[in-house]
Amino acid sequence: MKALKIIFSIALIGLIFGGCAYNFIVEEDIIDPGDPDAPEVSFSSQIVPIFSSKCTSCHYTGNQMPDLTPDNAYNSLNSSRYVNTSSPESSLIYTKPSPTGSHVQYSEAEAALVLTWITQGAQNN
């Protein structure tokens, strides 16, 4: 019986702390663009899906520039008009969908990912 109680207590403690750790991870989900140790953002697996979910209904091939479809997004953005790696915050691909204007907006987490991608050199990765 004593052994059972101990096992139950450990399981309970595990559940309590496990729950906290989970909440903590969810809150920390927004990447910090200013953190030099931030994990590397992948253009193809993290940025392109943002474009596909909320941009390509308008920004598709032959329509509104930049073309943000998966096959063309990188080439389309690989220009000083959209991306400025020496002053990432002034990049049009970051500022245009920001919460100030009437244009479609990034969520806070999406904006942070885009800014981090630019800060890390806007690689085709």
Using CB under 6 A as the criterion, which residues of the chain lie in contact with ligand HEC when the complex forms?
Answer: 54-55, 57-59, 64-66, 81-82, 92-93, 96-97, 103-104, 106
CB of residue 125 vs ligand HEC: minimum separation in angstroms? 18
Task: Identify the CA nearest to 27 among candidates 19, 16, 37, 35.
Answer: 19
Q: Which two tokens stand for residue 110?
A: 């999406």
Judged by beta carbon, residue 13 or residue 58, the one nearer ligand HEC is: 58
CB of residue 94 vs ligand HEC: minimum separation in angstroms? 8
Judged by beta carbon, residue 23 or residue 87, the one nearer ligand HEC is: 87
CB of residue 29 vs ligand HEC: minimum separation in angstroms? 18
CB of residue 4 vs ligand HEC: minimum separation in angstroms? 54
Q: Which two tokens stand for residue 43?
A: 């253009």
Q: Which two tokens stand for residue 79?
A: 């220009």
Instruction: Name residues whose C-beta falls within 8 Å of residue 97's C-beta, 6 or more positions apart in sequence.
Output: 55, 103, 104, 105, 106, 111
DSSP 54: H
Judged by beta carbon, residue 16 or residue 58, the one nearer ligand HEC is: 58
Judged by beta carbon, residue 84 or residue 96, the one nearer ligand HEC is: 96
Cα separation, 124 vs 1, whole angstroms = 60
